[in-house]
A and B are shown apart, each in its own frame.
Chain A
Amino acid sequence: MRVLPSGSRGLLLELDSLEEVLARYAALREVDLPVLDLVPAGRTILVVADRGTDLRALEQRVRAVAPVEHAGADLDPVEVPVRYDGEDLHEAADLLACSVEELVRRHREEAWTVAFCGFAPGFAYLRGTRSGWDTPRRTSPRTRVPAGALALAGEFTAVYPRESPGGWQLIGHALVPMFDLHRDPPSLLLPGTPVRFVEARV
């Protein structure tokens, strides 16, 4: 683990894999540290210190925290009902060199895990266990992607929590809201959560 500087309030932990990020993140959440927030991402965790914290002392304590192996492995997956009817479904299948039916089957059978959240409240980046998901973004991003759009980009799949611009390939839409202020927590999908997509019948 490398610890990179991030100003007078932050330490950026850089790790070798997403698995290490999730293992460290699960461990850091359980210990009592003078920390205001933890920001997990693809290869890093930003540790945001409480005001007035000595960063050198905090770094020592963070380094001493042992990662939790197989974090989230024993959790039941969250099931997200979807329909595979996205505008880019055929293009995405072409990009992944398979048929539409094959793409849908693989997406439905994949064991996804929430890697991290960002971009917008409730926007979760989900990663699968198998390879073969590497999908290029659209060359020209859409100015308007509808709320609930199920999409692919890079090694990730995601559901857009609300209408926004976006460059991901749209393969369908989800039938449950990703972000709801009247729910606690408001985000359906949190880092480390296992997820399965279930095809809803018309």
Chain B
Amino acid sequence: MTSLTVVEPGTLTTVQDFGRPGQAALGVGRSGCCDRGAHRLANALVGNHPTLATLEVTLGGLVLTADGDVVVATTGARCPGVPHLGPFSLGPGEELRLGIPAAGLRTYVAVRGGIDVEPVLGSRSTDVLAGLGPPVVAAGDRLPVGTTPRPVPGVDVAAVPEPTGDLLTVPVTPGPRRDWFDDAQWRRLLEQAWTVDPRSDRVGARLVGDPLVRTREGELTSEGMLRGALQVPPSGLPVLLLADHPVTGGYPVIGYVDDEAVDRCAQLRPGQQVRFTSLRQDAARER
């Protein structure tokens, strides 16, 4: 079987697909790729079914070699040193070396046939919080590559918007515990630009700014949450939940970032700013 050998993993590289939905009753969260659109596109560019696994590379730095002929594509954050948004080939012994992206956080590397590690509970995703799935990619790993009967698409380059380092604006709707905060706090959520904290990870993007103050005291009974939730811990600094968020959480969720826009939030780098704009609940529901 063809494989890729990891020379350097970079800051954090994991194998990801769309995760393991439907198992919350076991205490197992969905996990999966943080930027679903970029993962889907990377697979499409090499002719893979969207459910095949890709590599999610955080802040570049991944170096690997192919031991046979492979077709690969990168999407998401553009790393210098490799073609981006279009398929290309690597021959036996050839090296793929991702530089550090100038903007964006996560790059997806798809290989034709998919990264064929052993699935765990129906998914090849690494859940860093739950400790499920394949181990985090490390130097010396040999990653098996699968096969696919699907044709290679006749695409040179996909013209899609790329992540930038500019202020990002995304739509939010009120969450289940909006009423734990008064209107002034809701405005405080919307009227400032929040800065992404360096302690952010696949579990969530931690935001720094003028803290939100709860109007209701007391403890919330833990409840189910989804990616995109803006959870407000006692510090008043919201955490935007991403792919590896816990199944349930005990802090109130003031709002939700629209599901489609969470992909763009997954590309926010530490220090970058994000602003939330109110989307009417009706409009959100019609999507």
Residues of A within 8 A of B258 (CB): 7-8
Residues of chain B from 255 to 287 with CB closer than 8 A to chain A in the complex? 256-260, 281, 284-287
Residues of A within 8 A of B26 (CB): 117, 121-122, 179, 185-187, 190
**Interface flags, B103-145, vs A, CB<8A=1, else 0:** 0000000000000000011000000001110000000000000
A37, B223: Cβ atoms under 8 Å?
Answer: no
Select from chain A the residue with minimum beta-carbon distance to B248. A118
With the chains together, A54 CA to B285 CA distance in Å? 7
- Size band of the interface chain B makes with A: 35 or more
B22, A37: Cβ atoms under 8 Å?
Answer: yes
Of the candidates A4, A37, A44, A48, the one whose C-beta lies within 8 Å of that of B221 is A44
B21 within 8 A of A: yes
Of the listed residues A12, A38, A56, the one surrounded by the most CB atoms of chain B closer than 10 A to its CB is A12
B221, A43: Cβ atoms under 8 Å?
Answer: yes
**A48-B226 contact, Cβ under 8 Å, with A123-B27, A186-B121:** yes
Of the candidates A46, A55, A122, A187, the one whose C-beta lies within 8 Å of that of B224 is A46
Residues of chain B from 169 to 226 with CB closer than 8 A to chain A in the complex? 173-178, 221-226
Select from chain B the residue with minimum beta-carbon distance to A14. B176
A6, B229: Cβ atoms under 8 Å?
Answer: yes
With the chains together, A56 CA to B286 CA distance in Å? 8
With the chains together, A38 CA to B224 CA distance in Å? 9
A8, B260: Cβ atoms under 8 Å?
Answer: yes
Residues of A within 8 A of B148 (CB): none
B238 within 8 A of A: no
A41, B130: Cβ atoms under 8 Å?
Answer: no
Residues of chain B from 12 to 39 with CB closer than 8 A to chain A in the complex? 21-28, 30
B259, A36: Cβ atoms under 8 Å?
Answer: no
Select from chain B the residue with minimum beta-carbon distance to A59. B285
**A40-B226 contact, Cβ under 8 Å, with A5-B174, A7-B258:** no
Residues of B within 8 A of A82 (CB): none
A118, B221: Cβ atoms under 8 Å?
Answer: no
With the chains together, A190 CA to B23 CA distance in Å? 11
B247 within 8 A of A: yes
**A46-B27 contact, Cβ under 8 Å, with A7-B258, A121-B132:** no
**A117-B131 contact, Cβ under 8 Å, with A7-B226, A7-B228, A43-B223:** no
**Interface flags, A32-64, vs B, CB<8A=1, else 0:** 000011111111111010000011100000000
A120, B130: Cβ atoms under 8 Å?
Answer: yes
**Interface flags, A103-141, vs B, CB<8A=1, else 0:** 000000000000011111111100000000000000000
Can you give 23 contacting A-B residue pairs, CB < 8 Å?
A5-B175, A5-B176, A5-B256, A6-B175, A7-B175, A7-B226, A7-B256, A7-B257, A8-B173, A8-B256, A36-B21, A36-B22, A40-B25, A42-B223, A44-B221, A44-B223, A46-B224, A46-B225, A54-B285, A54-B286, A55-B285, A116-B25, A161-B27
Using A8-B260, A46-B224 as known contacts, list a sample of 8 further A-B pairs with CB atoms less than 8 Å apart, ordered by residue number in A.
Answer: A6-B175, A12-B223, A37-B24, A48-B24, A54-B285, A56-B285, A121-B26, A187-B28
Q: What are the nearest 8 A-B pairs in CB distance?
A: A46-B224, A39-B224, A7-B256, A117-B27, A4-B176, A118-B248, A42-B221, A39-B24
